[in-house]
Amino acid sequence: MFDLNKIRNDFPILKEKIYGKNLVYLDNAATTHKPQVVIDAIVEAYTKFNSNIHRGNHFLSEICTQKYEQARQIVQKYINAVSSKEIIFTKGATESINLVANSFASFLNKDDEVIVSAMEHHANLVPWHILSNNKGIKLKIIPMNSNFELDLTQFENLFTAKTKLVSVVHISNTLGTINPIEKIIKTAHSKAVPVLIDAAQSIQHKKIDVQKLNCDFLAFSGHKIYAETGIGVLYGKQSMLEKMSPYQGGGDMIKDVSYNSTEYADLPFKFEAGTSNYVGAYSLGKAIEYVENIGIENIELYEKELFEYAFDKLSKIEGIDIYAASKENRISSLSFNVKGVHHLDIGTMLDKFGIAIRTGTHCTQPLVNSFGQTGTVRASFAFYNTFEEIDFFIESLKKVIEMFK
């Protein structure tokens, strides 16, 4: 059962006061808060079994290793990967994408092409820009239509014999648009091109089955799905990962080392150089179990209702520009501006009401600039938000707008 009162009680920070007012946290696309079960897991790890993993043969190391590998299995099952060997722990979606970009670089030559979309986070643009500068690859962009959705006809026209990878966001962190990744993957595979999905904004909102999607890579961050910061995941098909070389070297990713050469460890360890964030992995496993206990389908349904309610309320305010033509095919993030009022001023004033929202380009500067703005106001929702909080947000926004008239 979806028990909202119980859920809110699970998140201690929601009881905090901001300027003497109840916290209304609408910046969930940036990071999510942590349930008590995750906080307890972090404390438990440091007080009960903290020890470096894989390398020790003493009791604490063996227990910590076991917890770390159990977390890998939890992730595997959550996204329905074929094997836990396909789950690489990283420090976040950014590192996961950089891992693919750097390891995939050995397959790329000058003038080879990578296709991304107009909606990408900087984490899925800058790594390819670096490759463009260093290896001379070309970046092609899937454009948007007037409804702030990807133009799939134009997407198909971007492919050439030089196209080597498609790397695209699942849900836009700025627009909340749910991209048709099933169609994107099918189109790319019909041309023998592999696909990387940035799931940083979808893993916490929707059920993801990597076998059903048939994506080649998928990246996400733990802190977006209620785990601690500094932990992330790269899923990769085993056949792809085995062909790729690691781009970081160090302890734990080797099988044999001499002064002259290195033999890499088997998957998944060859991509996990150095001391892993074993506490972060443990917290991620606990966070996923927490989400599963509530039910990701229940979460998706409730959050969709929240988004549509907020969209309808916001649409009725005079002078609001919402960067979405409709509320269909969207979830979580809602970006807008108020005519005649700077987005930063809106955010600063709403903060005085205890409302946490985000302003700026949201690490999607090319996207925001493309519709003639230097930034937007963004409200983003999680399953611990309430309809009453949205009402308060809307009424507070009206008061702020009135101040600037």
Active site residues: 363
The three-point CA angle 224-227-230 to 5° equals 80
Instruction: Note whether 116 and 142 are within 8 A (CB).
Output: yes
Instruction: Note whether 338 and 348 are within 8 A (CB).
Output: no
- Please count the other Cβ atoms lying within 10 Å of the Cβ belonging to residue 399: 11
Distance, in Å, from the CA atom of 133 to the CA atom of 116, rounded to the nearest integer, reads 17
SS3 of the chain: CCCHHHHHHCCHHHHCEECCEECEECECCCCCCCCHHHHHHHHHHHHHHCCCCCCCCCHHHHHHHHHHHHHHHHHHHHHCCCCHHHEEEECCHHHHHHHHHHHHHHHCCCCCEEEEECCCCHHHCHHHHHHHHHHCCEEEEECECCCCCECHHHHHHCCCCCEEEEEEECECCCCCEECCHHHHHHHHHHCCCCEEEECCCCCCCCCCCHHHHCCCEEEEEHHHHCCCCCCEEEEECHHHHHHCCCCCCCCCCEEEECCCCEEECCCCHHHCCCCCCHHHHHHHHHHHHHHHHHCHHHHHHHHHHHHHHHHHHHHCCCCEEECCCCCCCECCEEEEEECCECHHHHHHHHHHCCEECEEECCCCHHHHHHCCCCCEEEEECCCCCCHHHHHHHHHHHHHHHHHCC
